[in-house]
Amino acid sequence: MNETSLARLREFLKEKDCSMALLTNPATITWLTGYAPPIQTGPSPFEGGPAIGFIQEGEFTLLISDMESPAAQALGISTRDYVSYTIEGPAHGFEHQSQAFQELIAPLKGFSGKLAVELNFLSARLYPLLSEVVPPDRWLLVDNQLPLLRAVKSVDEVEKIRAALAVADSAQTIVKRLLQVGLSEIEIWGQVKAGLEHQVGGRLPLLADFAGGARTAEIGGLPGEYRLCAGDAFIADIVPRLNGYWGDNAATHFVGEPSPGHRKVYDVVLEALEKGLEAVKPGVKARELDALLRQYIEAKGYPVYPHHSGHGIGVTYHEEPRIVPYNELTLQPGMVLALEPGVYLPEEGLGVRLEDVVLVTQDGCEVLTHHLGH
């Protein structure tokens, strides 16, 4: 269990006058418990759905399939299991989960207070079962509030993020070594992923923009069959998950020597990123940081990129604080965020994006990624 996260949630519930909570977002479950469901193969055909957390008078219980309960119990989590895979009858995971869910929420019968509920990930199958026990007019919906609690990381969370970022940094080293004329994006990707899994000693969920040549001007995309040519730019935006926490970084490499024009674009993006890093400190609003990066790019005569300027990372790979034009959220010590300005020139078949991740400190920030060497 992540006791710091659990204590923060208990305090939040106390402020809202809620003694019980039903938690359905997988990110919330990981944040509270450290349990990270496997994601390499998508939803299991045997399970009823994601694990569900229930807090009763401060005590946490996880409703989970018997396939996954040993992994959760090893983390010290109290679980309520249901049958998933079986050869003794049909694999009716949803029915089994529903039965276990009714047992889980039985303490709510006769409960007259407010129930904190994450509704967005609550299965339609389970909705009426909960409604029968606690009417929806007594639900306090917390889907939009818990991500703000998660934005400030504990010391243990920061260490997990550091470990995931070290994997991302290693990936950039591998990419740089492998880039050569004639290799395809997917060939390089295969070697990168294999190398990282060998490094961590197991399967590694890995998201990426991995694009070369003219595809870089399209911002990114999954690796494909494009074969690299001399002078090509290559965007590698690497996002691995390690022990439930995500890392993220981005570099733009070149196959051989870039043209003077391409080098100029790269230098402008690097300068923008460095300006952004210098500006990160407590009290700065997310939208102010976003504006600084965009205005620097525009002042240099390049089109403003169409994506976010950055985002938080943690138990998801894109969370608060979102560095976007609308966001009034103020940076606080303990927040971890990525900054990723870019320039994209379709007419030249060129895109450049660079990304670092920082920890907001009491008086500035600490750069947690080391792949760009600045």
Task: Give yes or no for a contact between 164 and 247, defined as CB atoms under 8 angstroms apart.
Answer: yes
Distance CA 19, CA 220 (A): 46
CA angle 232, 237, 238 (to 5 degrees): 130
Candidates 164, 162, 176; CA nearest to 372 is 176
Distance CA 205, CA 38 (A): 8
pLDDT at 374: 67
pLDDT at 47: 96
pLDDT tens for each residue of 254-310 = 999 999 999 999 999 999 999 999 999 999 999 999 999 999 999 999 999 999 999
CATH architecture of the domain 3-149 equals 3-Layer(aba) Sandwich (3.40)
Q: Provide φ and ψ at 151, rounded to 5°.
A: -65, -35
Please identify every stretch of the chain with a pLDDT value under 50, giving residue numbers as ranges.
Answer: none
155-178 vs 185-200: helix crossing angle, rounded to 10: 140
Q: Which amino acid is at 50?
A: P
Task: Give yes or no for a contact between 104 and 80, defined as CB atoms under 8 angstroms apart.
Answer: yes
| DSSP string for 38-55 | --TT-S-SSS-SS-EEEE
CATH of 155-367, one of 3.40.50.720, 3.90.230.10, 3.30.230.10, 3.40.50.300: 3.90.230.10
| DSSP string for 254-293 | ESSPPPHHHHHHHHHHHHHHHHHHHH--TT-BHHHHHHHH
pLDDT tens for each residue of 19-49 = 999 999 999 999 999 999 999 898 999 999 9
Distance CA 164, CA 296 (A): 30
Chain centre to alpha carbon of residue 153: 13
- Domain borders along the chain are 3-149, 155-367
